[in-house]
Chains A and B, each alone.
Chain A
Amino acid sequence: MTGAVIEIQSLTKRFGGTTAVDDLTFRVEPGVVTGFLGPNGAGKTTTLRSLLGLVKPTSGRATFDGQAYAELRDPLRTVGTALEASSFHPGRTGRDHLRVAAAASGIPDARVDEVLDWVGLGAAGRRRAGGYSLGMRQRLGLAFALLGDPGALVLDEPINGLDPEGIRWIRGFLRSLAAEGRTVLVSSHLLSEVQQTVDRVVIISHGRLAYQGSLDGLETGVARVHVDAADRDGLARVLVTAGGQVEVTADGLHVSGLDATAIGQHALTAGVALKLLVPEREGLEDVFLGLVGEGGGL
């Protein structure tokens, strides 16, 4: 199976005076899990809803293999979607919720019970959805997404509200879906939540693209070296002269702009004895926070 390529091209969406999505362009390939990250209010949900034809973009396009969602001949069999976990009639059972969608898409009813068992809602499917826990609603949302056995999956915060066992389950599940060649786009406002699951990330902030690429590329972005000497001030002078940016803290110096090798060489030349030299990689979460800026809201 090869899922559709998702393309967002110069997408802009304004609600009244506020710009929710601002000239956003990115691409999601099949066969890998792509994380769609950004703080709450960054425009993730608006982007996804534009992609799914629920929101009309102010300008730009969002397509699956070049086709807008509304043009898809068989939408539920092409794209599976789980948006926020509250789009159910509380008086309707989970199973009936899926049967309504199955009828609209010409999907056989037998498939409904299949996906309910798959997400672990077999017995609960015959209870009214109004009584479901957040975790159960997430599972029902996922069952809805899987109903048409689609090649592409668009999941908005699917991990939110799941218990630890559920989180482990969904991680494995997403990876296996991608391994089958499907396109998997998973949004989250927490990098740590999807860090172990995603292969690629698209990070947005204030409706704009902040980063797009592999997680490794994100990780090696910024590096610092933690260094210390008995003559801390002397060392600092040497390193500043050598062109490094030095931050003096209680536990030594944090240097950027110079790598560990260069720092050791400069210290040796200046005759300053080092007592500590540790290359530090800035944490992913820090890089993420740096990218999404002060409006993080995390």
Chain B
Amino acid sequence: MLRSIRSEVRKVATTRIWWILAIILFGYVALVAAGMAALFATITDQAEGQAIPTESIPALVYSVATAIGYVIPLLFGALATTGEFRHQTLTPTFLATPKRSVVLGGKVVTGALFGVVYAVLALAGSVGLGAIVLSATGTDTLLGEGDTWALFGRIVIAMVLWVIIGIGLGVLIPNQVAVIVIVLAFTQFVEPLLRTAAAFWEWTAAVGRFLPGAAGDALVGSSIYTAFTAGTADPLEWWQGGLVLGAYAALFLVAGALTTWRRDVT
């Protein structure tokens, strides 16, 4: 297993995709966090009865790391598995490690390691630039608070889970183009639409909390998305959100392992 992990880390490190995604993640998150921090500063200056209390603003800015950034670790995980199908590198991979479950295990552990890397980068973007803008506009950054650091910890867990969900999705749908389209369409379009629609009725709102993006937001405990579309149902507890995300990861992994991962490599 350790050998398989070392091999998987080398696979990631010796191609370009991981740092291209890292740059996109950092840039995207930093830009949106800074923009949001600036926007909140203007809103609180102008409006008397603001919708969002000042003390929750830093968390909203910092959680941009996952609220919009989660698609990057998801793609990273999916590309890590579909790339092997696409470039037919499953042949040398399975020749070196014939026990396929060991290969998949190595991928999950490696994905988790890179999930931590992506979380740190995303936080560097959202906290780095966000906190600068917040303090420049006179809002308390709350960086000294234990709650803020607990939020960072939950963001790391969320990013790790998103990578593993991506790996599972990539095993289940080995077609790289298909999986990229599905990930982008679902995260950017289908799920936001479903979550908005679900908020209309009580029972749909209760179901909507179990959508992956909603569960991820529940795990982190703060998101621009939930702040603006507060439904009628109480959000999941952070640990419940984590369990739901973990269940998605496990479901995709097991389903993929029992289907495409067992197939003949020709």
State A98–B257 Cα separation when bound (angstroms).
Answer: 26
Instruction: Indicate which residue in B9, B83, B97, B264 contacts A55 across the interface (CB closer than 8 Å).
Output: B264
| Contact, CB under 8 Å: B88 / A86 | yes
Interface residues of A (CB under 8 A from B): 15, 45-46, 49, 52-56, 69-70, 72, 75-76, 81, 83, 86-93, 96-97, 99-101, 103-106, 144
State A101–B95 Cα separation when bound (angstroms).
Answer: 9
List the 6 shortest-distance A-B pairs measured between CB atoms, nearest first.
A104-B7, A104-B96, A96-B14, A103-B7, A70-B98, A103-B6
| Contact, CB under 8 Å: A104 / B93 | yes
A100-B95 contact given A87-B87, A92-B15, CB 8 Å threshold? no
Asked if B239 CB lies within 8 Å of chain A CBs, one says no
A52-B95 contact given A89-B89, A106-B3, CB 8 Å threshold? yes
CB contacts under 8 Å to A, within B14-58, are: 14-16
Q: What are 15 A-B interface contacts by the 8 Å CB criterion?
A: A49-B265, A55-B264, A75-B96, A83-B91, A86-B88, A87-B92, A88-B87, A90-B87, A91-B16, A92-B15, A97-B92, A101-B96, A103-B9, A104-B97, A144-B92
Which partner residue on chain A sits nearest B2 by CB separation?
Answer: A106
| Contact, CB under 8 Å: A104 / B3 | yes
Interface centre among A55, A87, A97 (most CB of B within 10 A): A87
> For B9, what are the chain A residues with a Cβ–Cβ distance below 8 Å?
103
| Contact, CB under 8 Å: B10 / A53 | no
State A74–B91 Cα separation when bound (angstroms).
Answer: 16
Interface centre among B4, B14, B16 (most CB of A within 10 A): B14
| Contact, CB under 8 Å: A89 / B91 | no
Which partner residue on chain A sits nearest B4 by CB separation?
Answer: A104
> For A92, what are the chain B residues with a Cβ–Cβ distance below 8 Å?
11, 14-15
Which partner residue on chain A sits nearest B14 by CB separation?
Answer: A96
| Contact, CB under 8 Å: A101 / B7 | yes
Instruction: Indicate which residue in A72, A76, A103 contacts B10 across the interface (CB closer than 8 Å).
Output: A103
State A266–B7 Cα separation when bound (angstroms).
Answer: 75
| Contact, CB under 8 Å: B6 / A89 | no
CB contacts under 8 Å to A, within B197-212, are: none
> For A70, what are the chain B residues with a Cβ–Cβ distance below 8 Å?
98-99
> For A54, what are the chain B residues with a Cβ–Cβ distance below 8 Å?
91, 94-95, 264-266
| Contact, CB under 8 Å: B264 / A49 | yes
Interface centre among A69, A72, A101 (most CB of B within 10 A): A101
Which partner residue on chain A sits nearest B88 by CB separation?
Answer: A87
> For A76, what are the chain B residues with a Cβ–Cβ distance below 8 Å?
95-96
> For A87, what are the chain B residues with a Cβ–Cβ distance below 8 Å?
87-89, 91-92
| Contact, CB under 8 Å: A89 / B98 | no
Closest chain B CB from A47 CB (angstroms): 12
| Contact, CB under 8 Å: A75 / B14 | no
Which partner residue on chain B sits nearest A92 by CB separation?
Answer: B14
State A169–B120 Cα separation when bound (angstroms).
Answer: 51
| Contact, CB under 8 Å: A56 / B96 | no
Q: A104-B3, A104-B6 are in contact. List 17 more A-B contacts (CB 8 A).
A: A53-B94, A54-B264, A54-B265, A56-B264, A70-B98, A72-B98, A75-B98, A76-B96, A88-B92, A89-B11, A90-B87, A92-B15, A97-B92, A100-B7, A101-B7, A105-B3, A144-B92
| Contact, CB under 8 Å: B14 / A99 | yes
State A91–B87 Cα separation when bound (angstroms).
Answer: 10
| Contact, CB under 8 Å: B10 / A99 | yes
> For A144, what are the chain B residues with a Cβ–Cβ distance below 8 Å?
92
Which partner residue on chain B sits nearest A72 by CB separation?
Answer: B98
| Contact, CB under 8 Å: A100 / B3 | no
State A144–B16 Cα separation when bound (angstroms).
Answer: 22
State A237–B86 Cα separation when bound (angstroms).
Answer: 66
Closest chain A CB from B189 CB (angstroms): 30
Which partner residue on chain A sits nearest B15 by CB separation?
Answer: A91
Which partner residue on chain A sits nearest B5 by CB separation?
Answer: A103
Instruction: Indicate which residue in A49, A69, A72, A86 contacts B266 across the interface (CB closer than 8 Å).
Output: A49
> For A91, what are the chain B residues with a Cβ–Cβ distance below 8 Å?
15-16
